[in-house]
């Protein structure tokens, strides 16, 4: 191995005792490849198994915790006990390859399509629709419904434990329900769940506390709990870095193992706040402090990118998203000094070789600009 890449291969022990063998994580990415009834498919198991051999941790695509929370076609669920068998097969496939298996749990809120939820009843913190054509206006959740969804996150965590996962990640990013409650743009409530920033934090922190309680009751100390968030929102009335700083301060006091930043480029500076001379991830790392590791992500393709992200932001862990789809052997090639053979583009003939399920492959090849696609095969 090139000695300059050695920092990527240092083990790290997390807050609750789990040890990761290196600093490279497979990022959670929607793959649209579960069965229509929300059960795990063989194709997605093969997809994860193909990519779990080098990374220290695989964070799955998000699973819905409530019937009202299914956000995408081909998404798998953790909303009832019947899911445990399929989830167990997935966890086992990942762990057989030597990676920690972490289940990302979420509720889509207003981002859910009406035909994916019971009675077409799309819910959120408030009746603020997404800014896209045809988006439904969600119904504001009642307080008993909010409390039930908090319990649903806890029950999904119990199922992850029983299925053999090594941890869960709370999906508080990308405009889904947890973020909808914290954002002043999507939360217009005037009860204890809305209004002030402190009140808007109530729902996210209730979920953290419920998940922590379930883990303490049902799992060993080493069971991981992570929290993913988006540091800023595009809308003028949305989340700013000041809001994110308050969120981080609140999460630092919880029994979390890591924070995971959702970003498209690790170098991006903040849009808001006084310090725009450095990246958002670097500011988040400084705020989180030394004892709460941060996963950095966004436009990391080569090991040089990963080292630069690590050194320039201070993040303890590096997540590969699109790149681990393009190059499932990324970690192994760096480790054996074969980094020049790492692929950074897809060929249209690569699907079978890369073990990419057809729904995800179709999304990749029909979404211009999402993935870099070469004009000829490099298989």
* Residues annotated as part of the active site: 176
Rounded CA-CA distance 294/96 in Å is 26
Q: Which helix (H) or strand (E) holds 333?
A: helix 330-335
Q: For residue 201, what is the DSSP state?
A: T
- C-alpha distances (whole Å) from 344 to each of 27, 232, 351, 354, 372 are 16, 28, 15, 13, 7
Measured at the alpha carbon of residue 242, what is the angle toward residues 236 and 245, in degrees to the nearest 5? 135
Residue 189 is encoded by which pair of tokens?
Answer: 């409530």
Largest CA-CA distance found in the chain, in angstroms, rounded? 58
Residues contacting 314, CB < 8 A, separation 6+: 282, 285, 286, 294
The three-point CA angle 201-203-205 to 5° equals 65
Q: Are 41 and 357 in contact (CB under 8 A)?
A: yes
Torsion of CA 248, 251, 255, 258, to 10 degrees: -40
- The count of residues in the chain is 379
Q: In 278-317, which residue ranges form alpha helices assigned H by DSSP?
A: 280-288, 303-313
Measure the CA–CA gap between 39 and 70, rounded to whole angstroms: 12
- How far is residue 200 CA from its own chain's centroid? 21
Comparing CA positions, the residue from 196, 214, 93, 97 lying closest to residue 153 is 214
Contacts of residue 190, Cβ cutoff 8 Å, sequence gap at least 6:
none
């Amino acid at each position: 191995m090139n000695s300059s890449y050695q920092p990527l291969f240092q083990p790290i022990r997390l807050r609750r005792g789990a040890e990761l063998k290196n600093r490279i994580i497979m990022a959670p990415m929607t793959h649209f490849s579960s069965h229509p009834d929300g059960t795990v498919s063989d194709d997605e198991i093969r997809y994860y198994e193909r990519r779990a051999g080098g990374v220290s941790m695989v964070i799955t695509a998000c699973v819905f915790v409530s019937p009202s929370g299914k956000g995408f076609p081909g998404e798998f669920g953790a909303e009832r006990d019947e899911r445990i068998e399929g989830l167990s097969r997935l966890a086992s496939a990942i762990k057989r390859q030597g990676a920690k298996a972490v289940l990302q749990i979420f509720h889509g809120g207003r981002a859910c399509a009406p035909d994916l939820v019971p009675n077409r009843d799309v819910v959120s913190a408030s009746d603020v629709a997404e800014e896209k054509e045809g988006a439904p206006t969600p119904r504001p959740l009642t307080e008993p419904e909010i409390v039930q969804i908090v319990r649903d996150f806890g029950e999904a965590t119990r199922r992850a434990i029983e299925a053999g996962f090594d941890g869960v990640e709370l999906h508080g990013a990308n405009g889904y329900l947890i973020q909808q409650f914290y954002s002043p743009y999507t939360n217009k409530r005037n009860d204890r769940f809305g209004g002030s920033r402190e009140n808007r934090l109530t729902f996210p922190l209730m979920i953290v506390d419920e998940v922590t309680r379930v883990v303490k009751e049902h799992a060993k100390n080493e069971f991981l709990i992570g929290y993913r968030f988006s540091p800023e929102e595009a809308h003028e009335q949305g989340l700013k870095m000041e809001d994110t700083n308050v969120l981080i301060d609140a999460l630092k006091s919880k029994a979390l193992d890591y924070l995971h930043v959702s970003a498209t480029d690790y170098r991006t500076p903040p849009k808001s706040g006084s310090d725009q001379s450095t990246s958002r991830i670097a500011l988040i790392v400084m705020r989180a402090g030394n004892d709460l590791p941060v996963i950095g992500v966004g436009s990391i393709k080569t090991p040089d990118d990963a080292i630069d992200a690590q050194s320039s932001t201070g993040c303890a862990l590096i997540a590969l998203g699109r790149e681990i789809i393009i190059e499932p052997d990324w970690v192994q090639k760096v480790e054996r000094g074969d980094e020049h053979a790492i692929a950074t583009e897809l060929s249209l003939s690569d699907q079978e070789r890369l073990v990419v399920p057809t729904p995800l492959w179709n999304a990749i090849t029909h979404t211009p600009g999402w993935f870099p696609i070469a004009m000829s095969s490099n298989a």
